[in-house]
A = this chain, B = another copy of it.
Amino acid sequence: MKLPAWRRTPEDFASRIEQSIPWIVEYLKCDRGPWSPCAPGELAAKVPVAPPLKAESLEAVLDDLRTVIEPGLVRWDAPGWFAWFPSNAHPDAILGDLLASVTAQQGMLWTSSPACTELESRMLEWLRVALGLPEIFREGGAGGGVIQDTASSGVLACMVAARDIATDGAATRQGSAACGGLTAYTSEQAHSSVLKAAGICGVGRDNLRLVPTDNDFRMDAGALADLMQSDIEAGLRPCFCCATVGTTGCGAIDPVEAIADACDTHGCWLHVDASWAGTAALVPELQSQITSGATRADSWSFNPHKWMGAAFDCCCLWLADRAPLIAAMSIDPEYLRNAASGGGDVIDYRDWHVQLGRRFRAIKLWVLLRCTGVEVLSEMIQFHIDLASIVEDAVNLHPHLELAAPRSLSLLCIRHTDGESGTQKLLDMVNGDGRFAATHCRLDGALVMRIAIGTLAVDRKSVDSLIEVLEQC
């Protein structure tokens, strides 16, 4: 029987994957520098404006992949990628994600995919154990773990839950009428997603207090307590605080225990954002530093899609108590009711985030963790930190360069002693070299170059080359 034109036999699909493999292999050799050479509009100009009516050959598509798409790609996987943070796609995770696409699960309910649901809970348990996170987050407890697409979605979900605890659910039901006077807290070095979430969920950006930091850019827990106290005296209601373990700027690790003390006093939800640095807890020697205070947190998240190589997107979020999140997010239309949900002995993850539908993301964690193993991932993290130490030593020996903040794990913030213009020249030199990508931030108002070490491909050679460029400065 002839298949209709919109179907492919499994064998045809397999052969098309095989046909694509030479391009994939070539691409993964990564023989060019990280930044794209394209100017704005250059790629779009090569793509037809009208959609293709007739099917084209895969060969034609692969040709265009090479000539049209490839120049517009940024090599986040380059050995000289030191920009922002790593966003690693380990081959085992890529394979796992291929299985997610092939199996086409939609895990909104346990019933709609028991595998997506139960493997997710178990993978979060694996990672909880691997990171040394406390029992309060364990599978089968009052809380548990969930995959959010990104940390931005995770912090929004937690802030919504926190807002509802403070208003006994009235914020979700009545909206603004109930959320008057709510305030939230994070450090002035925290990620922009906290501000974004405050704007979205009705707390309001103006009501997010950016707590000052100490000399090492860590949240000042005393200042936090004072801010909360004065807000309460002004009749306001502190409901949510986000501590950061590894800030985006310089990787500062907030004093979570001391922050928890302030939060406890006022019944404030404590969320820990360890998006980047969380992976470092795979290294036994670093575990206590990274997870410090986690037993006091209401929620804790990190992004395996960053340093751990789980392939974007994949953010792991643990909750000590899932009830307030589910209360805020739950919707129960007739068309989703089913015996398993009604029985109450399964998890329906649709109630744990903004989205209803959900991809089978757990399977990429499963393939990655099994095919690579926790110990190897831990060795990788330690290797990256060691590389960063080598750069740190070179900077300390350099007559015109200095660290603008203590090295945090594998992240360095470097500035020129000549100030702004010197640092800008340094950035231009590193990014102009062709082999490297570096980005910047500001610390105490001054420009610094960020060197975030952590791609799968980075090695001693790439770091030595970077040091050579720094030495020419």
Contacts and interface: CB of A to CB of B under 8 A. Distances in A.
A223 to B, nearest CB: 21
Nearest to A71: B115
20 contacts: A17-B17, A41-B345, A44-B122, A61-B371, A69-B363, A70-B115, A72-B119, A73-B103, A73-B105, A74-B115, A152-B355, A171-B204, A174-B204, A175-B204, A192-B356, A193-B331, A200-B329, A201-B201, A335-B441, A335-B450
Contacts of A111: 74
A160 B6 contact: no
Interface stretch (A52-60, A289-297, A397-405): A52-60
B103 A442 contact: no
A429 to B, nearest CB: 16
Interface in A176-191: 176-182, 191
A377 B4 CA distance: 11
Given A196-B329, A441-B335, A95 B17 contact: yes
A21 B17 contact: yes
Contact of A355 (B106, B149, B376): B149
A313 interface: yes
Interface stretch (A82-90, A252-260, A265-273): A82-90
A115 B53 CA distance: 23
B91 A204 contact: no
Interface stretch (A8-16, A316-324, A415-423): A8-16
Given A118-B44, A118-B72, A354-B196, A89 B113 contact: no
Interface string A150-173: 111100100010000000000111
A317 B305 CA distance: 25
B202 A179 contact: yes
Interface stretch (A123-131, A213-221, A388-396, A465-473): A123-131
A38 B150 CA distance: 30
B101 A77 contact: no
Interface string A1-40: 0001111101111101110110011111100000010101
A248 interface: yes
Contacts of A414: none
A357 B150 contact: yes
A14 to B, nearest CB: 5
Contact of A122 (B47, B55, B195, B311): B47
A355 to B, nearest CB: 4
A207 interface: yes
Given A84-B112, A104-B77, A439-B335, A7 B457 contact: yes
A41 B40 CA distance: 51
Given A6-B379, A36-B113, A50-B129, 14 more contacts: A6-B376, A8-B90, A8-B92, A13-B25, A13-B95, A16-B92, A28-B102, A50-B126, A51-B374, A87-B104, A87-B357, A152-B355, A192-B332, A196-B329
Interface in A125-148: 125-127, 129-130, 139
A115 B14 contact: no
Contacts of A65: 99
Contact of A13 (B91, B103, B115, B174): B91
A110 interface: yes
Contacts of A369: 51-52
A235 interface: no
A55 B372 contact: yes
Q: Please indicate which of the listed interface residues A18, A52, A305 has the most CB atoms of chain B within 10 Å of its own CB.
A: A52
A367 interface: yes
B56 A373 contact: yes
Nearest to A126: B51
Contacts of A379: 4-6
Interface string A355-371: 11111000100110111
B126 A335 contact: no
B94 A13 contact: yes
A65 to B, nearest CB: 7
Contacts of A41: 118, 345
A11 B40 contact: no
A200 B329 CA distance: 8
